[in-house]
Structure 1
């Protein structure tokens, strides 16, 4: 009879490793490694991209910021030095430069608001089911896929041209329907230059607004909408009390992103009017000051102002995106 000390207890047999019971040996799980070395090892693959981004974006901006405080005109190379805030003061006091700033604000506001309204109407249309909806959606998205310079050239020659443009051709056709051959043939680019630039940009950016708002419409809780219709709500009441409050964040996001892009627009202004007739915005003013006046300090100050305005708007856009993501997670 064995003594109790020589017989293993039940708890010791349970705690014994599997190798002692004839099974495969248990593989111990190492604790997770932490520390600064591990953190740097995880970030190391991202360092080349970070260095490339700094070299491509941040260093040129720092150089532009430094030049914006300098008095530097290539036509007068002997007069170069530190100018302080005089370049920024000229931006807000010089009538021409102040006009470009005002034109930028007016052009951006008009394009964003009208594109937003048209995009909302098209999104509400495409949210309904009808034959050929896929084809219509593809055709409506197409203007946003056109290269901006090609879009401006299309409007300048195919639509606005006073001799063979589509708009004047339609006017001639309508006047002939009423028996008159004396149809007006306005020169759109010279008589309504700002409206001409705004129309081309609205045509280009309305599909962008439509896509964002259509995504918002398709994320609506359809059971709530159906319950409201069962309770007797008409289409206007559903839109006012359910659809529009749900789209508020998407409207803000579309407006902010559209503002970021439109405030930097250069292609339409340069191609359609070459900055003449009061259509020169800040990006065109930067081009004109740098390449025509050769005033590098003033052009750098204007570029910094454009970047600062874009950063301010982009900050609000990022906050709106983060709030949308938080709502989706909830």
Structure 2
């Protein structure tokens, strides 16, 4: 009897598995069903416009020539990569992104180390340092244009006593200064979170062993902050590469194209030149380049997380 009962139990368990899996699938679908409207909304406002942009990138479509729209294949992309202005805007975008992310990280790291110490009024200082990030980018750009770089009434004119028109002589550097000021608080917050998550026992053990502050920072703190620094670099690069407000309001891409980056040049081609075909091709190229950089950075960051977490 015992020999016959074993197959009977196994058969019942085998029959119950599909029912259990079906019930789990149904339960998971019911939990995710309320998210369906949000998913549809995200697809409608992000993916559909991008697909339309890809479609227009293969068309010769200029708004000042109604009825002239026709398929041109890869001609728009060929024109994009042979356009010296586009290549100059690409170089400006790379320089702007790298310099702003690097300086924002360095200044943010220094401020985070200072804010990690206890001192009188630390809460007020933290609030004041975060304030630039809470200001709208357009408002911040206008603030720097009128109160900092004005050759007659600006603070730089008052401090240095010169009548230098900073936005004309140093357009890209002026934009970089504003963007660094805007994004340094963000870097500071991320790095400060990393510093406060550090184990105090490890730091105390290093102090007991006679390690200097610099040795402790280089051997313990900095490796611990590596994932936070990588995350800050990734997020900062994704947002800064799309900078438009500062350039549009401070320099208008000039003098000439000295401070023109990819988003502003695409804006010029689409809304000033009315060339929808070429501007769409530029937009697609910019998205692809951004995705390549973001994918590389994400893989590097996830690899770091896996190594630190012991995952092989």
Query: Same-fold call, TM > 0.5?
Result: yes
Classify the secondary structure of the residue corresponding to 1:34. helix
Write out per-residue CA displacement over residues 269-314 of structure 1, whole angstroms, 9 at most, x where no aligned residue. Answer: 0000011121110100111000111000111111122222333344
Q: Does 1:215 align with 2:193?
A: yes
**Conserved? CA contact 1:69–1:301, under 8 Å:** yes
Q: Does 1:77 align with 2:66?
A: yes
Q: Does 1:304 align with 2:293?
A: no
Classify the secondary structure of the residue corresponding to 1:308. helix
| Pairing partner for 2:267 from 281, 287, 301 | 287
Q: Does 1:167 align with 2:191?
A: no
Distance 1:164 1:75 in 2: 42
Classify the secondary structure of the residue corresponding to 2:23. coil
Classify the secondary structure of the residue corresponding to 1:61. helix
**Conserved? CA contact 1:111–1:202, under 8 Å:** yes
Matches within 5 A, 1:162-311: 162-172=151-161, 184-277=162-255, 278-311=258-291
| Pairing partner for 2:109 from 99, 120, 138 | 120
**Conserved? CA contact 1:107–1:198, under 8 Å:** yes
**Conserved? CA contact 1:257–1:317, under 8 Å:** no
What is the TM-score with the length of structure 2 in the denominator? Answer: 0.87
Give the RMSD, CA atoms, in angstroms: 2.2
Show the counterpart of 2:38.
49
Query: Higher mean Cα deviation, 252-261 or 85-94?
Result: 85-94
In terms of fraction of residues, the more helix-rich structure is 2
Unaligned runs of 5+ in 1: 1-29, 173-183
Higher Cα radius of gyration? 1
Show the counterpart of 2:96.
107
Q: 1:325 to 1:216 in 2, by over 3 A?
A: farther
Unaligned runs of 5+ in 2: 1-18
Distance 2:146 2:87 in 1: 31
Distance 1:47 1:247 in 2: 37
Write out per-residue CA displacement over residues 113-146 of structure 1, whole angstroms, 9 at most, x where no aligned residue. Answer: 0111100111111111111111111111110001
Show the counterpart of 1:4.
none
Matches within 5 A, 1:137-176: 137-172=126-161
Instruction: Report how far residue 328 of structure 1 moved.
Output: 7.3
**Conserved? CA contact 1:256–1:316, under 8 Å:** no
**Conserved? CA contact 2:151–2:157, under 8 Å:** yes
Classify the secondary structure of the residue corresponding to 2:198. coil
Distance 1:195 1:90 in 2: 29
Show the counterpart of 1:10.
none
Instruction: Report how far residue 89 of structure 1 moved.
Output: 1.8
**Conserved? CA contact 1:143–1:207, under 8 Å:** yes
Instruction: Report how far residue 100 of structure 1 moved.
Output: 0.8
Classify the secondary structure of the residue corresponding to 2:31. helix
Instruction: Report how far residue 54 of structure 1 moved.
Output: 1.1
Instruction: Report how far residue 39 of structure 1 moved.
Output: 4.2
Write out per-residue CA displacement over residues 36-58 of structure 1, whole angstroms, 9 at most, x where no aligned residue. Answer: 54443333222111111111111
Classify the secondary structure of the residue corresponding to 2:279. helix
Instruction: Report how far residue 90 of structure 1 moved.
Output: 1.8
